[in-house]
Amino acid sequence: MAHNTQKKDLESTLKSLDTEEFIDIHFYRPLGYRWALLFERMGISPNAVTVAGIFIGIAAGICFYYPSLTINVIGMLLLIWANMYDSADGQLARMTGQKSPLGRILDGFCGDVWFFVIYVAICLRLMPVWGGWIWLIAIITGFFHGKQAAMADYYRNIHLLFLKGKAGSELSHSPAVKVNFEKMTWKHDFIYKLFEMFYLRYTRGQERWTPRFQEMMDVIRNDYHGEAPEWFRKAFRTKSLPLMKYTNMLSFNTRVIALFVSLLIDQPWLYFVFELTVLNVMLVYMVTKHERICTDFTHSLKNQQQ
27-74: pLDDT as tens digits: 888 999 999 999 999 999 898 999 999 999 999 999 999 999 999 999
Does residue 2 carry a pLDDT above 60?
no
- Within 13 Å of residue 220, how many CA atoms lie on the same side as its CB? 20
What number of other Cβ atoms are within 10 A of residue 4's Cβ? 8
pLDDT of 115-162, one tens digit each? 999 999 999 999 999 999 999 999 999 999 999 999 999 999 999 999
Instruction: Give the helix ranges, DSSP H, for the chain.
Output: 2-12, 22-23, 29-42, 46-63, 69-96, 101-130, 133-164, 174-183, 190-208, 211-223, 230-240, 244-249, 253-264, 269-274, 280-305
164 and 306 co-located in one domain: yes
113 and 138 co-located in one domain: no
75 and 122 co-located in one domain: yes
Are the CB atoms for 206 and 287 separated by under 8 Å?
A: no
Nearest to 160 by CA among 175, 171, 147: 171
Nearest to 146 by CA among 240, 2, 279: 279
User: According to the model, what pLDDT value does residue 169 have?
Assistant: 80
Model's pTM, two decimal places?
Answer: 0.90
Nearest to 73 by CA among 220, 217, 259: 259
73 and 202 co-located in one domain: no
121 and 140 co-located in one domain: no
Does residue 227 carry a pLDDT above 70?
yes
End position of a domain, from candidates 100, 127, 154: 127
CA distance 15 to 29: 11
Does residue 204 carry a pLDDT above 90?
yes
150 and 288 co-located in one domain: yes
157 and 64 co-located in one domain: no
pLDDT of 166-192, one tens digit each? 877 888 899 999 999 999 999 898 988
* CATH number for 55: 1.20.120.1760
148 and 56 co-located in one domain: no
End position of a domain, from candidates 72, 101, 127: 127
Are the CB atoms for 61 and 271 separated by under 8 Å?
A: no
At residue 180, what are phi and psi to the nearest 5 degrees? -65, -40
End position of a domain, from candidates 74, 107, 127: 127
169 and 280 co-located in one domain: yes
Residue range of the domain that includes 143: 132-306
153 and 274 co-located in one domain: yes
184 and 100 co-located in one domain: no
Cα separation of the two ends of the chain: 52
Top-confidence residue, 108 or 34: 34
89 and 154 co-located in one domain: no
CA distance 144 to 286: 14
Number of compact structural domains in the chain: 2
Residue 11 pLDDT grade (very low, low, confident, very high; cuts 50, 70, 90): low
